[in-house]
Structure 1
Amino acid sequence: MHSVGDADEMSVRRRTLLGTVGTIAGLGITGCLGSDTSSVGVLSAGSLASTFEDHVGPAFREETDIELRSEYYGANAMMRMVEDRTKRPDIVVSADATLLRDRLYGEFTDWDLEFATNSLGIGYDEGTTLGGRLANGDPWYEVFRAAETGEIAIGDPDLDPLGYRAVQAFELAEAEYGLAGFRDQLRETVYEEPDEPQLVAGIESGARAGAIVYRNMAVDHGLPFLEFPAAYNFADPSLSDHYATVSFTTDEEGYTAEGRPIVYNATVLEDADDPDGGRRLVEFLADNPDVLETAGLTVGEELPRLSGEVPAEVRA
């Protein structure tokens, strides 16, 4: 595994990254950025469904005439699909940069681009009793403790980082406020949604009063959003050591994810059918922070950032 702090990492400014990624692509096939590619296969974290469908996809198509053929799943499930070759996308986009590197580096890719961050909190329907209490400023943890079983949803922690980050946030909040048994109580009462994009749909349909979501998911759907404090919203890099005091181990693979800041990254797979189109999309994500921020994501001054090694076939 390669860490971001390794010597392989390249930190680049927005004004130079377009040229850097373009150079990588150009080493593979002469003139690839001018190819007549018509579509690119994307396997993306479910939390970016609206981001890609409503923002990135249309803007990318307008700039390049390339369509995105996108599918959305929890990032854990996505990695499994790539590993067992159930899916063969050109580009993979993860809601957890470390997860992608742990699972795909070595056999499927050796590099990635970090392009955006996010924060964790509660999206809710203020017309419900639970939502009304949140809107009135009642402590969210007291509201959640009093909630009915199934009234609140989280992602399935065995399938996606949004799910295991919710569980980690409950654990950090338990320590923060001295709430004995809080994490375990909520794991018994929340509904674990296996289809990440349905977290917001459940609130909109009236099936749930609230859900643990990322900020961009609430922004894209016009939902009230109560952002968690920095101590457990996974948005502050300076609190990385604090976040790392909690972890979650998935049932199926036994993968242990430590708490860490939310960072989205993307890579082009070594066996991609259209690596050139995939690199054009990576270039687009690097060079258009305004599109990402309109969708509710955050692009700080430290981003975009390239990590890892140039693929072997490109070096050749």
Structure 2
Amino acid sequence: MKAKSIVVLSTIIIAILIIIVVLNRSEEKSIKIFHAGSLSIPFDDLAKEFEKEYGIKVYREAAGSVSTIKKVTDLGKYADIVASADYTLIEKMMEPDYSDYCIQFATNSLVIAYTNESRYHKEINENNWYTILGRDGVRFGFSDPNKDPCGYRTMMVLQLASIYYHNETIFYNLVEKNTPIKNNYTNNSYTVYIPDSSSLTSNEKIMIRPMEVDLMAALESNEIDYLFIYESVAKQHAISGVRYLTLEDAIDLSNPDRVDDYNKVTIEMSDGRNITAKPIVYGVTIPKNAEHKDYAVKFIELLLGEKGREILIKNGQKPLQPAVCDHKDLLPDSIKPYVK
């Protein structure tokens, strides 16, 4: 009898604890953010600031920008905010069915990261980097162009380099010779063709991963010598010994005045989408399926405001001030003052 009473009492206690946990979860104030991998550190800082200011928990998921958006559009997952390393992906893949607008909020540039353990690191410079990368024994990395803007932007940079340096062997020696990626020249412009991701495998010359930040660990552990990555991410890893080489603005996708030069290169993805090279600009939106739109608006106000700009700058990204929006009239009223 006593044993039965203990069992009954234990069952009641467990049931009460389960109810408490469920109630606490249901009452928790939170938002969910899907964002580009290159935004991981600045968005972590923003999340901490947001939680401190509003007491609202921030849950984040980082992935390549294409994969990030497809979580909403293809997998049907809900997010309160989606942030992409390429604003045009939001405009093309989410509007108008999954989002009403896209806010352009920051810029970046592509660089070549390396460490003091990288082969020929004492020799590499802005004039010979493509020769260094092509040397026997040198291994470099870039992310999957089908899944991550940094990957297709790497292809843009390498093709633009072939144009800028008047050296058609650059793209061939570094890309076509080592991957199934191909290019074609017609009507004074280049198209780079990206095959299905299943055929984009790493080899002794090149390492390919779904997201550019996945490759940073490989660089820091000397699995690769060099890595095409955003300047902001390279700066964020300086503490671990990462250094980087800046490239000419004719090829690094940083200069709005060079847009006509960048436009000479188009990437055709494996799914048939075409992406023309242009300056790097990040975008953010609140999807239509957001469950906590009021909280999401507050987060974007933080992102676009003075504190958010300080956090971006601290982490090596240049905020757009004011931000830019394709459909300002559809923005929540409290965000409009931050946008032109």
When Rg is computed on C-alpha atoms for both structures, the one with the higher figure is: 2
Contact 1:236 1:261 in 2 (8 A): yes
Corresponding letter in the other structure for 1:207: E
1:249 is aligned, of 239, 254, 268, to: 268
Query: Quick one: higher RCO (CA 8 Å, sep 6+), 1 or 2?
Result: 1
Q: Which position in structure 2 is the counterpart of 1:24? A: none
1:155 is aligned, of 136, 140, 143, to: 143
1:38 is aligned, of 24, 29, 46, to: 29
Q: Which position in structure 2 is the counterpart of 1:81? A: 71
Between the aligned partners of 2:327 and 2:66, the Cα distance in structure 1 is: 21
Q: Which position in structure 2 is the counterpart of 1:5? A: none
Between the aligned partners of 1:256 and 1:94, the Cα distance in structure 2 is: 17
Superposed displacement of residue 200, structure 1:
1.2
Between the aligned partners of 2:127 and 2:251, the Cα distance in structure 1 is: 18
Between the aligned partners of 1:37 and 1:264, the Cα distance in structure 2 is: 30
Gaps of 5+ in 2: 1-26, 179-204, 334-340
Superposed displacement of residue 131, structure 1:
2.5
Between the aligned partners of 2:28 and 2:304, the Cα distance in structure 1 is: 20
Contact 1:130 1:143 in 2 (8 A): yes
Superposed displacement of residue 300, structure 1:
4.3
Between the aligned partners of 1:138 and 1:104, the Cα distance in structure 2 is: 40
The 5-angstrom pairing of residues 1-316 of structure 1 reads 38-53=29-44, 55-134=45-124, 139-148=128-137, 151-187=139-175, 188=178, 189-222=205-238, 223-251=242-270, 253-287=271-305, 288-301=308-321, 303-308=322-327, 310-311=329-330
Corresponding letter in the other structure for 2:214: Q
CA RMSD of superposed structures (Å): 2.1
Structure 1 length as normaliser, TM-score? 0.81
SS at 1:200's partner residue?
helix
Gaps of 5+ in 1: 1-35
Corresponding letter in the other structure for 2:29: S
Corresponding letter in the other structure for 2:32: G
Contact 1:99 1:257 in 2 (8 A): no
Deviations 1:211-248, CA, capped at 9 Å, x for gaps? 00001101111121211110011111111111111011
Contact 1:73 1:196 in 2 (8 A): no
Which portions of structure 1, spanning 4 or more consecutive aligned residues, are displaced by more than 4 angstroms? 309-314
SS at 1:206's partner residue?
coil
Between the aligned partners of 1:125 and 1:51, the Cα distance in structure 2 is: 23
Percent of aligned positions with the same letter in both sequences?
A: 26
Contact 1:91 1:268 in 2 (8 A): yes
Between the aligned partners of 1:103 and 1:137, the Cα distance in structure 2 is: 35
Change (3 A) 1:299 1:141: same
The 10-residue stretch of structure 1 (289-298 or 86-95) with the greater mean CA deviation from structure 2: 86-95
Superposed displacement of residue 79, structure 1:
2.2
Contact 1:45 1:72 in 2 (8 A): yes
Contact 2:84 2:282 in 1 (8 A): yes
Structure 2 length as normaliser, TM-score? 0.76
